[in-house]
Amino acid sequence: MNHWAPTWPGAWGDAWVALALSLKVAGCATAIDLVLGVTLGQVLARRRFPGRDLLDAILTLPLVLPPTVLGYYLLVLVGRRGALGAWLHDSLGVELIFTWQGAALAAALVAFPLVLKSARAAFEGVDPQLLRAGRVLGLGEWALFFRVSLPLAWRGILAGVLLAFARAMGEFGATLMVAGSIPGRTQTLSLAVYEAVQAGQDDLAQLLVLIISVVCVLVLVLAGRLLPRAARRPA
């Protein structure tokens, strides 16, 4: 144990940089997932249209595909020669490859199904009779969403958001392919663990592992507290 102590001050500095970057990347990824997941979750829960099951399957893919495959797709799409990437670079000057924004995009993609699944389930748990009641009482669809659907579904959605945040914190494969592992710029906690182990910096690796474990446990405890009460029924 003693061999830890002398090197910790330096390790702390590296760890803080990686932690701050991880929180920034995971936070942005989760924000993207929240907006897209709630929108698409509501659509999948409420609308019947041809190809709905196929769309659901495609949107769930990130849950089962290897992160390296997702990273490859992203490279093809947003790389300098990719369709979207070329447009982003030429018209907006935005570069996603080897940047923290690229890491956030990768993390958002990998964690997306977690928000989508819970948002869809939460919206499906809202009794359609309550929506009918709202319509008859004079509400339009947007007002109905903000005054009935969202207040009844937010616990389930938030639980999914927290899971997505934890997943984004731990993202490795897709992030590495899209953003690389540049210390201080794109090297998140999980990438820093790998680099530390490769470089034989055991004390740094231990510290990083400890930090990421504690953060993820906290997030999961919070999610667990929200979930059981997620399902609320009309009286």
Pick 5 or 137: Cβ nearer another protein: 137
Nearer to another protein, 185 or 232 (CB): 232
217: Cβ contacts below 8 Å, ≥ 6 apart: none
Least distance to another protein, CB of residue 146, Å? 4
- Could you list the residues that contact another protein (CB under 8 A)? 127, 129-130, 132-140, 142-143, 146-148, 151-152, 232-235
User: Rounded to the nearest whole angstrom, what is the least distance from the CB of residue 54 to another protein in the complex?
Assistant: 22
Q: How far is the CB of 208 from another protein (least distance, A)?
A: 42
Q: Report in angstroms the alpha-carbon separations of 116 from 8, 9, 32, 62, 125.
A: 40, 41, 12, 11, 14
Nearer CB in complex with another protein: 93/138: 138
Phi-psi region of 38 (alpha: psi -120 to 50; beta: other; left: phi over 0): alpha
Q: How far is the CB of 153 from another protein (least distance, A)?
A: 10
Q: How far apart are CA 102 and CA 174, in angstroms?
A: 10
Nearer to another protein, 157 or 168 (CB): 157
Cα distance between residue 53 and residue 115, in whole Å: 17
